[in-house]
Structure 1
Amino acid sequence: MKVYQTNEIRNIALIGNAGSGKTTLAEAMLLEGGVINRRGEVTAKNTVSDYQPIEQDYGNSVFSTVLHTEYNNKKINIIDTPGMDDFRGSVISALHVVGSALVVVNTPHGIESGTESAYRITHNAHKPVIFLFNHLDHENANYEQTLEQAKANYGAKVTPIQYPVNAGPGFDTIIDVLKMKQYKFPLDGGPAQITEIPENEKERADALHNELVEMAAENDEGLMELYFEKGTLTEDEMRQGIKLGMIERSLFPVFCAGAKHDIGVSRLMEFITNITPSPAEAVEVPEVNGKHPKVDPSDPTSLFVFKTTIEQHVGEITFFKVMSGTVKEGQDLTNSKSGNKERISQIFVNAGKNRTKVSEMIAGDIGSTVKLRETKVNHTLSEKEAAYNFKPIEFPSSRHSVALYAVNEADEEKVGEMFAKLHDEDPTYVVEYSKELKQMLIHCQGEYHLNALYWYYKNIFKIDIEFKAPKIPYRETITKSAQADYRHKKQSGGAGQFGEVHMIIEPYEEGSEPKTSFKMNGKDQKLSVRDTQEHPLPWGGKLIYHNCIVGGSIDARFLPAILKGIMEKMEEGPLTGSYARDIRVYVYDGKMHPVDSNEISFKLAGRNAFSQAFKEAGPKILEPIYNLEVVVPSDRMGDVMSDLQGRRALIMGMGSEKGYEKIEAKVPLKEMYKYATSLSSLTQGRGRFSMKFDGYEKVPQEVQEELLNTYAAELVED
């Protein structure tokens, strides 16, 4: 295969709602470029793109697929991405390395939730956008309505370059107002018949052409002067203006297609090769060490890894973009994270699971390699003297969490090992082993994302797993002071155990001072604080431990054991087994035995005295509260607000922006299980939310009673 130069390469991501026809379009583009000689179909499970078993099973893209085609003496690298929002991590990673985004729109359905989500990601990545109105051969295709929706959502920058003449069944003709020609495509494939625009379409075509000329001229002062001087621009001048407008995101061209029958695809590819920015012109990924390498074959070699996948009989395949220089087969590069060398033993050009071996790749190109030892997604490989380190992909925060269990305990270790492989392939799967909750927590993007995880364990790893609602990391504390004493006494033939501890506990507030007297059970208890230890707790809050022993009733050597017993009980709170926090303890009296007293005796005495005092000190359970931001379509505001009220949310503020309402609220974590699914259902997939931990607050009394009863039942079960 030819080695393409940087100016001969175009990198593009296919993004949009599920069902918009991205995979079918990719097939048509590969067919046009001669990479395949027969177009596959999603329903027949024989497309180049959706080749993974899970994708063929689901009938939808689950992972991004790296493809390439050749057209107009240029190479087009294509990344076909999933349309479901749960798999948007693949869209984000694809846009990190391409020069342009092709937003594929299902014209019969108009601008869908997945279209909106995809567009937002292009906005955050500041990538040029082309809208492709697909499925114009469908009986419900409505080009005009979809164009109005796009303009309403994204502004006047949405600019038609084409419009259909006969949308609906039998669609085959497009008017191109950049070329000012009519394109009629054979329904069985083949080159278009290009003719002059017929008289009955001339007026509309002229109006749209003039609009396009103005939009192109606005992006460059020189072009604007030419436009004022001549009243128009040549096609080459328009191309220049359109390219500048796309790079600045001030112009979004609209194209038309019926990808299933290859209608409009060749003209789209011509536009991509002629006008979309090459890697040297596109917005590239910045380097984080203050260096600015050029996308230049003569610079030191550097690669950025944006994707890995695992294939049976092959192992791990690493996908990269050549950020600078020229990568050659057998070249040694240094991993910026580890500092270790990696050998690029082979270089491949990709078309789904098909790989073509090449000897080298030039800056700006996209390829893959195999058998790297430790290089993962977001790693940079470069020549040692360059030591580049490119900005990592920022994957989305998790929106759904579950506890994962192996059905058979013997599989527990294997479950973790397999998850690590899935995380490498999809970094938006995140695992957390919670010592506090005694659960393996999986954080992901939603129910579909979770279902894909389950599919892998069942069908590929052959491990039975189950999901449960994650436990909530409650905290326990007290609201008033209380006193308790406990004697631990054990005699069993040999050496006995004896320890007695008297203590008072009270709530701790930051900055408060210890007290010197308490009234307990109608009696005044005077205290003399001899020593204070302050223990910030790993789970938040503090324990303040005061030694108030006078007269040697407890030997000083046993005081650390008492503290240890208290800490053990704070790690497993007396109410529900949750962590306890913000407590001040005064140990003021006790008893010893000259023979039987030892550390274990005083640890147990301290633990049990603390537990008794805690239950008498107005104990309260605290729950984690999160700041929630929800963005919803205006017409769904009422439903979302009602749902939030049912989740004990406290509304903190509201605002409006472009047909959407933004709700800010504080909400207990307990009420947010499966919220991603509920919000999607309430808003037809158009709502989105983010959460950030705020702090802990006391639970309502009825919730506390429920938690106490549940914990008591669990103890009986155990």
Structure 2
Amino acid sequence: MKTYDEKHIKNVVLVGSAKSGKTTLAETMLFEAGIINRRGSVEEKTTVSDYHEVEHERGNSVYATSLHTEWRDYKINIIDTPGLDDFIGEVISSIRVCDTAVVLLNAQYGVEVGTELLWSYIDQYQKPTIFAINQLDSDKANFNQTIEEAKKFFGPAVTVMQYPVNQGIDFNCIIDLLKMTMYKFPVNGGKPEKLPIPDKEKNLADKLHNELVEKAAENDEKLMELYFEKGNLDEDELRLGLKIGMMNHQVFPVFCLAGRKNMGSGRLMGFIDNVAPSAVEMPPEKSDNDKDVPITPTGPTKLFIFKTLVEPHLGKLSFFKVISGEIAVGQELTNEKTNTVERLNQLFIADGKNRNAVDKLKAGDIGCTLKLKNSSTNHTLNGKGATGNIDPIHFPRPKVRVAVVAKNKQDDEKLSEVLAEIHLEDPTIEIEYNRELKQVILHGQGELHLALTKWRLENIYKMQVEFNKAKIPYRETIQKAALSSYRHKKQSGGAGQFGEVFMKIEPYYENMPQLKEFPVRDSETHDLAWGGKLVFNNCIVGGVIDSRFIPSILKGVMEKMQEGPLTGSYVRDIRVSVYDGKMHPVDSNDISFKIAGMMAFKEAFHQAEPQLLEPVYDVETTVPDEIMGDVMTELQSRRSVITGMDNRNGYQVIKSRTPLAELDKYFSVLRNISQGKAKVEIQFAEYSPVPSELQRKLTEEHQKEAALEGH
């Protein structure tokens, strides 16, 4: 394979909502460049990109897939990404390492809700962006409306480079405003005929061309001077102005496509070659200590791993971008994070499941290697003279959760290993071994995300598992003060046990007044591992309890706080004051006062109006206008409190506070209501009191479970 210098390597990521045509466009680009001899299709399960079994089964992308084309002395690395929010981790890592984002908009539906989420990451990384309006051959295609929505959503940087002459089922002509030419495609697509712009389109084409020239000129003072001087810019000057505008995020060129019919992809690739920036032209990367790391061929070797994939019968594939220098087969690099040395025994350029062996790769290029022992996603590998790590990709927090258990208990250890491997591949799947709830909990981006994880466990790893409802991490506290005492006395021959404790407990809150009833000799504030606080006051005077036993009383209280009397949940936000007691000169010991402290706390807790608390989340649901009422009704049926509403880019944003217990299945219900056109973001807000009826029900359920366990 030809080795390209750093200026002739372009990295693009294809992003867009589900069914916008990303995989079909990628296939067409490979065909146009001669990488493949025949175009496959998603329906026939023959595309280079969607090659995993689960993608064939579902009929859409689940993984981000690396591909490449070679087009007119340029190498274009392409990453085809999934269109569903559930697989957003695959999209984010791809946006991070590519240098230009090609955003596909479906001409039938315009700017869809999912595009907003994708755009937030493109905007965060300030990636140069091209909009490709696809499916102009659909009978419902509406180019002008899509442009209007795009400008409304993405701003005035949206710049028309092309427009369709005859959108709809007879679509075959595009007017290009950079070259001021009409491209007419044959019936089956492919290489177009270049024709003069028809007279009836002249006025519109001239108007849009002038807008394009002005947009290109305003990004550079010299170009602006030329524009004022000549009244126009030539093609090379236009390209320069557009590149500067793209890199400043002030120009988003718009192209026209009918990907399925192979119309428009060649012109798009030509623009990527000639105008889209290469990696070495982009701003430097950042290190994890916020220092600039330029992408340069002259620096010491440094590469950044952005994706890990475990292939059956092959092993671990690590996908990387060369940040500086060049890498070669046999080279040894250091991973500072794991303090290990990795040898690159093989280097590949990937085209889906096909891997093309290469001897070396230069700065800015994207490749992969096999069987790195101690390196994975977000790790940096350094050659001689290079130090430091690239700032890692920051993945979004999960939204849904489920408990997983192996049907065969003998598979428990294997399940742990497999889940660790799945997390290695997909950092947006988080694994939690929850001792409090006595469950292994999977956290993911949506119900589909979790369902696909179960599919992988059963079909790839051949493990039979059950997904159960994840328990809720309730908390317990009290609503009023209470006094109690407990005497622990045990005599059974030999040394006995004796300890008596008098205790007051109160609800704790920030800046509460000092205790007045008893003199406080010593006070400790403990930030509890499960949230909230415990304030422990030693109010013993006159030596009725020796100071050496006070820590044992605290230990007993803390132990009981790990299993509250209502539901067995953790206890929080309590002030405990030990103010009296008795001890025995011979029989008193640590265990006696630990038990006495534990039981005194338990008795006081029951008298202090116990209150069960539940985790509540801030939920932001973005929906189209027409289903807003249905979504509001659904939220209110889930004990949600609506905290606000907003209009954002033509969509309604409903803000609510919703208990975690009520979020179960909300995402799948919402997807059904909205036909996939809604999105949700959640963030933990607080612990809030559970309604009294629900508290009674949960307490009774816990007592029944405890009774059964007792038998």
Does the alignment reach a TM-score above 0.5? Answer: yes
For 1:333-348, what aligned pairs fall within 5 Å after superposition? 333-348=333-348
2:607 aligned partner: 616
Confirm or deny: 8 A CA contact 2:190 2:263 kept in the other structure.
no
| One-letter identity of the residue aligned with 1:362 | K
Q: Distance in 2 between matches of 1:121 and 1:594?
A: 69
The answer (yes or no) to whether the contact 1:291–1:388 under 8 Å persists in 2 is no
Does the Cα contact within 8 Å between 2:620 and 2:653 map onto a contact in 1? yes
Query: In 2, Cα distance between the equivalents of 1:355 and 1:276?
Result: 26
| Deviation for aligned residue 1:101 | 0.8
Q: Does 1:668 align with 2:659?
A: yes
Residue 276 of structure 2: aligned partner: 276
Is the 8 Å Cα contact of residues 187 and 263 (structure 1) preserved in structure 2?
A: no
More displaced 10-residue stretch of structure 1: 118-127 or 77-86? 118-127
How far apart, in 2, do the equivalents of 1:515 and 1:192 lie?
86
Q: Report how many residues are paired.
A: 709
SS of equivalent residue, structure 1 residue 280: helix
Alignment of 1:486-565 (within 5 A): 486-488=486-488, 499-512=499-512, 515=515, 517=517, 532-547=523-538, 558-565=549-556
Name the structure 1 match of 2:326.
326
Larger displacement relative to structure 2 (662-671 or 185-194): 662-671
Q: Secondary structure at the match of 2:305?
A: strand
Relative distance call for 1:546 and 1:206 in structure 2 (3 A) is closer
1:572 positional shift: 0.5
CA distance 1:206–1:580, shift in 2 (3 Å)? same
1:149 is aligned with what amino acid?
Answer: E
Is 1:76–2:67 an aligned residue pair?
A: no
- Give unpaired runs (5+ residues) of structure 2: none
Question: Aligned pair 1:228/2:228, yes or no?
Answer: yes
SS of the counterpart of 2:609? coil
Secondary structure of the 1:130 match is strand
- Whole-angstrom distance in 2 between the partners of 1:225 and 1:533: 72
8 Å Cα contact 1:96/1:285 also seen in 2: no
Residue 301 of structure 2 contacts residue 384 of structure 2 at CA under 8 Å; is this kept in 1? no
Amino acid at match of 2:694: V
Task: Give the corresponding residue for 1:658.
Answer: 649
Aligned partner of 2:109: which letter? H
Given the alignment of the two structures, is residue 467 of structure 1 paired with residue 467 of structure 2, yes or no?
yes
1:700 aligned residue (691, 694, 703): 691
My pick for the range that moved more, 292-301 or 421-430, is: 292-301
Change (3 A) 1:345 1:515: same
Percent identity at matched positions?
Answer: 53
Deviations 1:249-272 (A, max 9, x none): 222222122222212111211111
CA offsets, 1:307-327, max 9 Å, x none? 111112221111111111111
Q: Give the Cα separation in 2 of the matches to 1:174 and 1:537.
A: 65
- Kindly report which structure 2 residues correspond to 1:177-188, keeping only aligned pairs within 5 A, or say none: 177-188=177-188
Q: Distance in 1 between matches of 2:3 and 2:614?
A: 60
Alignment of 1:439-454 (within 5 A): 439-454=439-454
Compute the displacement of 1:576 (Å): 1.3
Give yes or no for contact 1:529–1:547 (8 Å, CA) kept in 2: yes
SS at match of 2:441: strand
Which residues of 2 match residues 316-395 of structure 1 at below 5 A? 316-395=316-395
Cα 1:658–1:596 change in 2 (3 A) is same
Q: Is the 8 A contact 2:284 2:293 kept in 1?
A: no
> Conserved in 2, the CA contact under 8 Å of 1:329 and 1:347?
yes
> Once the 2 structures are TM-superposed, how far is the Cα of residue 675 of structure 1 from its aligned partner?
3.9
Hey, what's the Cα distance between the residues in 1 that align with 2:514 and 2:17?
A: 62
Q: Is the 8 A contact 1:48 1:351 kept in 2?
A: yes
Counterpart in 2 of 1:67? 67
Q: How does 1:672-691 map to 2 (within 5 A)?
A: 672-691=663-682
Contact 1:293 1:299 in 2 (8 A): no
CA contact (8 A) 1:68 1:351 kept: yes
Q: Offset of 1:509 from its aligned partner? A: 4.1
- The yes-or-no answer on 1:13 pairing with 2:4 is no
Task: Give CA-to-partner distance per residue, 1:357-415, whole Å, 9 cap, x none.
Answer: 11111111111111211111111112242214222111112222222222333222222
- Is this contact kept in 2: 1:99–1:284, CA < 8 A? no
Note the alpha carbon deviations across 1:630-669, whole angstroms, 9 max, x for none: 4455555544444444444444455444334555544433
Alpha-carbon distance in structure 1 between the residues aligned to 2:136 and 2:173: 10
Matched with 2:208 is 208
Cα distance, 1:113 vs structure 2: 2.1
CA 1:152–1:357: 2 relative to 1, 3 Å: same
2-side partners of 1:499 and 1:372: how far apart?
Answer: 60
Q: Is the 8 A contact 1:49 1:351 kept in 2?
A: yes
Q: TM-score, normalised on structure 2?
A: 0.92
C-alpha contact 2:285 2:293 (8 A) present in aligned 1:
no
For 2:538 and 2:219, the matched residues in 1 are separated by 76
Structure 1 CA distance, aligned partners of 2:477 and 2:287?
48
- Corresponding residue SS for 2:279: coil
| Per-residue CA distance 1:177-233 (angstroms, 9 max, x = gap) | 222222222334542222222333333323322222222222222222222222222
Deviation, structure 1 residue 679 = 4.5
CA RMSD of aligned residues (A): 2.7
Shift of 1:153: 2.4
Q: Could you report, residue by residue, the CA deviation over 1:482-503 in whole angstroms, capped at 9, with x for unpaired residues? A: 3334444566688765555443
Structure 1, residues 299-347: CA drift from partner, whole Å, max 9, x if none? 2111111111111222111111111111111112221323332222221
- Check whether the contact 1:97–1:285 (CA below 8 A) recurs between aligned residues: no
- Equivalent residues of 1:14, 1:79 under 8 A apart: yes
| 1:295 matches 2:286 | no
Equivalent residue number for residue 521 of structure 1 = none
SS of 1:202's partner is helix
544, 564, 581: which one pairs with 2:572? 581
* CA displacement at 1:683 relative to structure 2: 4.8
Aligned to 1:406: 406
325-334 vs 596-605, greater mean Cα deviation = 596-605
Counterpart CA distance in 2 for 1:246 and 1:555 is 75
User: CA 1:547–1:274 in 2, change beyond 3 Å: closer, same or farther?
Assistant: closer
> CA–CA distance in 2 between the matches of 1:551 and 1:123?
68
2:416 maps to a residue whose letter is G
The separation in 1 between residues aligned to 2:449 and 2:256, in whole angstroms, is 32
Specify the alignment match of 1:432 in structure 2.
432
8 Å contact from structure 1 (residues 346, 369) kept in 2: yes
Instruction: Report the CA distance shift for 1:249/1:712 in structure 2 as closer, same or farther (over 3 A).
Output: same
Larger deviation: 472-481 or 457-466? 472-481
1:9-56 alpha-carbon deviations (Å, 9 max, x no partner): 111001101111111111111111121112111112121111111111
Q: How does 1:300-319 map to 2 (within 5 A)?
A: 300-319=300-319
1:481 is matched with which residue? 481
Answer whether contact 1:69 1:76 (CA < 8 A) is retained.
Answer: yes
- Take 2:571 and 2:135, find their aligned partners in 1: how far apart are those partners? 60
Query: For residues 419 and 693 of structure 2, what CA distance do their matches in structure 1 show?
Result: 38
Residue 178 of structure 2: SS of its match in structure 1?
coil
The letter of the residue matching 1:254 is: V
> Are residues 591 and 155 of structure 1, via their aligned partners in 2, closer, same or farther at CA, if it must alter by over 3 Å?
closer
Residue 707 of structure 1 aligns with an amino acid whose one-letter code is L
C-alpha distance in structure 1 between counterparts of 2:284 and 2:97, whole Å: 7
| Separation in 1, partners of 2:205, 2:525 | 79
Match of 2:707 in 1: 716
Alpha-carbon spacing, 1:116–1:501, altered in 2? closer, same or farther (3 Å): closer
1:158 partnered with 2:167:
no
What are the Cα deviations for residues 557-591 of structure 1, in whole angstroms up to 9, with x where unaligned? 65544433222211101111111123333445556
The 3-state SS of whatever aligns with 1:277 is coil
Q: Counterpart of 2:375 in 1: which secondary structure? A: coil
What residue is the counterpart of 2:112 in the other structure? 112
Counterpart CA distance in 2 for 1:224 and 1:556 is 82
Which amino acid is 2:113 matched to? Answer: S
Q: 1:585 to 1:239 in 2, by over 3 A?
A: closer
User: 2-side partners of 1:416 and 1:708: how far apart?
Assistant: 32
Flag the 1:529–1:336 CA change in 2: closer, same or farther, 3 A: closer
